[in-house]
Structures are given as C-alpha cells and as structure tokens.
Structure 1
Amino acid sequence: MAKRNNNLLNIQDALKDFVETNKLEKGLDKVNVRDAWSKLMGNGVNNYTTAVDIKNETLYVQLSSSTLREELSYGKDKIITMLNEELGKNLIKKIVIR
C-alpha cells in the first residue's frame, strides 16, 4: 500500500501539482480555448464555427460561413487580446481563420 503524505495541501495546489506531474497542461489549454471562444463569440458565431484548435501559440478556427470569416479577419488582434484576457495568460499569438 502507498504511503500517505501528511503534508496538508489545498485542492488548488494539489490539482496544479497533478497537472504538472502528468503533463496535462496542453490538453487543458485546448479545452479552455474552446470554452473561451464559445463564451466570447456568442451564439451567432458559434453556429458557424466547426472547429477550434490551438497549436504552437496559433489558434486555428474553422468557419462554415465565408462572410463571417471575412468579418472576423478584420478584428484578429482584438480577438487575440480578448481570448488571452479570458484565459489569464498569453497563450495565443496568431489566429488563422479558415
């Protein structure tokens, strides 16, 4: 049987340690980016969003509407700023809208 560690940790520190130990941060970032996109963009944009993925500080967003794609391409810098603020860290440097 495993030996218990008698040091007291709060749940936040325990979860943070678990995520770092098991190298789960990239996967959690992907989930958090999808959630932030849907929260910030609202139902109008989410209805036309088919995929949201992040790779190497680049956010890839796939849309089914070419008109919406063109509209969002004008505000890429603002979208990056809003998403990074929502995530609480500078995770996104570039957006590719397809």
Structure 2
Amino acid sequence: MKKPSNSENSRRADIVSLKDSIQSLLKAYRLQGKLNEVTVVGSWEKVMGKAVALKTQEVYVSNGKLFVRLSSAPLKHELVMAKTRVMQLINDEVGEAVIKEVVFL
C-alpha cells in the first residue's frame, strides 16, 4: 500500500480563500477605497429606506464626503438635523469609516 505523497500536503498549505485573495488584489491595486464609495452609493436606499430614496435625486461620494441632492426641503432639513446619525448608518453598512462628512444639496 502506498503512502500519500508530501506534495499533496504541501499543496494544501498554499491554498488561500477566495475572500483573502480578492482583498489582497484590491489592496495591491489600491481599489478598496473606490469600492467602498460605490458600496455607499449602492446601499443608500437600503440604509435610508424607500421613502427617502424616492425623494433623492442624486448620491455621490467625493474625497470622503457624501453628497446627496434631495427634492424635498422638509426632508433635507430633517436629515441635516440627523447628519451624524446618517453618517454612522452609512459607515456601519460598509464596515469602515468611509464617509467623514455628509452634505445635503
């Protein structure tokens, strides 16, 4: 009876999870920041809810600032008052402190 060769065991040591591989790739090409910004914009409706999303005209991120254009003045006033909470919800969704400031237009 033949023993399993050591090459099989050494191969298993080289195995890296897909998640770790993708994170290494994003780090190597310095894409993680941009990916986080895209995640923020994409998760706006999920974080803020359907009612706020319907009154949102534009959402974009630039230099760590989240810019949100709203079509409702009362909603804008309400969100300005809760700016830190909005920033916290967005950053919690992404899992990193991506947004440093929120600007409502």
TM-score with structure 1 length normalisation? 0.84
In structure 1, C-alpha distance between the alignment counterparts of 2:67 and 2:33, rounded to whole Å? 15
Q: Which has the higher helix share?
A: 2
Residue 92 (structure 1) aligned to one of 74, 96, 99: 99
* CA displacement at 1:27 relative to structure 2: 2.2
1:15-54 aligned at under 5 Å gives the runs 15-54=22-61
Where structure 2 has 5 or more consecutive residues not aligned to the other structure, the ranges are 1-10
Q: Residues 26-67 of structure 1, C-alpha deviation per residue, up to 9 Å, x if partnerless?
A: 321121101332111111010111221122221111112222
Q: Aligned pair 1:59/2:62, yes or no?
A: no
Unmatched runs of 5 consecutive residues or more in structure 1: 1-5
Matched, 1:76 2:83: yes
Indicate the RMSD between aligned Cα atoms, in angstroms: 1.5
CA distances 1:1-40 after superposition (whole Å, capped 9, x unpaired): xxxxx63110001111111122222321121101332111
* TM-score for both structures, normalised by structure 2: 0.79
Structure possessing the higher radius of gyration over alpha carbons:
2
1:72 maps to amino acid: L
- Counterpart of 2:20 in structure 1 is 13
SS at 1:62 equivalent: strand
Displacement, 1:97? 0.2
Distance 1:85 1:27 in 2: 17
Question: Structure 1: which amino acid aligns with 2:50?
Answer: N
